[in-house]
Amino acid sequence: MIHKVVIIGSGPAGLTAALYAARANLAPVVIRGLQPGGLIATTSEVENYPGFPDAINGFDLAEKMEKQAARFGTSFIDGIVQSVDFSERPFTLTVDNGTTVQAETVIVSTGASPRKLGVPGELELANRGVSYCAVCDGFFFREKKLVVVGGGNSALDEGLFLTRYASEVVIIHRRDQLRADPVLQARAQANPKITFVWDSVVTAIKGETGVTGVALKNVKTGEATEMAADGVFPYIGHIPNTALFKGQLELDENGYVISDGRTRTNVPGVFVAGDVEDHVYRQAITAAGTGCMAAMEASWFLDKQDHVQEALGTW
């Protein structure tokens, strides 16, 4: 059987793409992957997804998205795509449960994972003081002392954002100078709530039911110290889940899928949505937005129509 639309990933991007493709009568198939519901399903409180004025649990939000997509005829496969062949249509996807899936169009929505520090306490205290998203969780840390780990643009950007709520933000960087853009560096250095700890790495995150502090090591002197803190935001980069697409899709130097701004990749018939392409906004709502776009583009591709070109009168 050749499916019209196969969606790789079941986060907000994939499930929104499924909803739109299902309502376009394309009977999409979603391959869920290791994390059904995507990253948003791992967070407890989502306060910035429109339509939920009293906040919603991330798992419940993802479940609602899946139910809504299923209601219009989406089917789901529990499995991880292990390899893809985009060299000819129909495209072929091999799933780890031993099945092979064929598709006229594919929507790639495999997300990007925050790079972990890999220290004791990080996993145990995730969502209990350890967060990888300042925009999502900063609000919960009013008048608290926070630690941001990293020295790039994201670390400074998010550190600055966190000063809106926190009483104090300590940026811990393993070198003695920042990698971030000079403008951001100047802004962070001028902010009275921000201080820096140089040449240091976090070796453990402390706390039982919530974060109480971090253990640090100075990489030059070897000195070990501890610092009290109420929250830890590691910002040492994201890893797009694109290993699977190397040699198949055009990726940028950091491994993100490149699109033409309308979710179309370099392979006609393969579209991309969500954080696997977007290294700027990384929000459930933006992932859902591009999921909608990808499904509409896939539908137009199957119809051999281009509504944008039509609207411009150039089709």
Ligand X SMILES: Cc1cc2nc3c(=O)[nH]c(=O)nc-3n(C[C@H](O)[C@H](O)[C@H](O)COP(=O)(O)OP(=O)(O)OC[C@H]3O[C@@H](n4cnc5c(N)ncnc54)[C@H](O)[C@@H]3O)c2cc1C
d(CA 54, CA 79): 34
User: Active-site residue among 54, 60, 96, 137?
Assistant: 137
User: 231 to 260, contacts with ligand X by CB under 6 A?
Assistant: 241, 244
Out of 14, 90, 138, 240, the only residue in the binding site for ligand X (CB under 6 A) is: 14
Residue 263's nearest CA partner among 291, 305, 300 is 291
Is 154 a binding residue for ligand X by CB under 6 A? The answer is no
Is 136 a binding residue for ligand X by CB under 6 A? The answer is yes
Is 205 a binding residue for ligand X by CB under 6 A? The answer is no
Please say whether the dihedral angle defined by the alpha carbons of residues 211, 217, 218 and 224, taken in this order, is positive or negative: positive
Q: Which is nearer to ligand X, 80 or 204 (CB)?
A: 80
User: 21 to 40, contacts with ligand X by CB under 6 A?
Assistant: 31-36, 38-40
Helical H runs in the chain? Answer: 12-23, 58-71, 134-137, 153-162, 182-190, 284-303, 307-312
d(CA 105, CA 297): 10
User: Active-site residue among 78, 85, 96, 133?
Assistant: 133
Q: Which is nearer to ligand X, 200 or 240 (CB)?
A: 240
d(CA 4, CA 233): 41
Site string for ligand X, 269-288 (x = CB under 6 A): -----xxx-----xxxx-x-
Check if 292 is active-site: no
DSSP track, 150-191: --SHHHHHHHHHHTTT-SEEEEE-SSSS--S-HHHHHHHHH-
Check if 136 is active-site: yes
> How many beta carbons lie within 10 A of that of residue 167, not counting itself?
13
Check if 137 is active-site: yes
Out of 4, 5, 6, 9, the only residue in the binding site for ligand X (CB under 6 A) is: 9
d(CA 291, CA 277): 11
Q: Which residues sit at the interface with ligand X, rule CB under 6 A?
A: 8-14, 31-36, 38-40, 42-43, 46, 48-49, 80-81, 109-111, 114, 131-133, 136, 241, 244, 274-276, 282-285, 287
Residues with catalytic roles: 133, 136-137
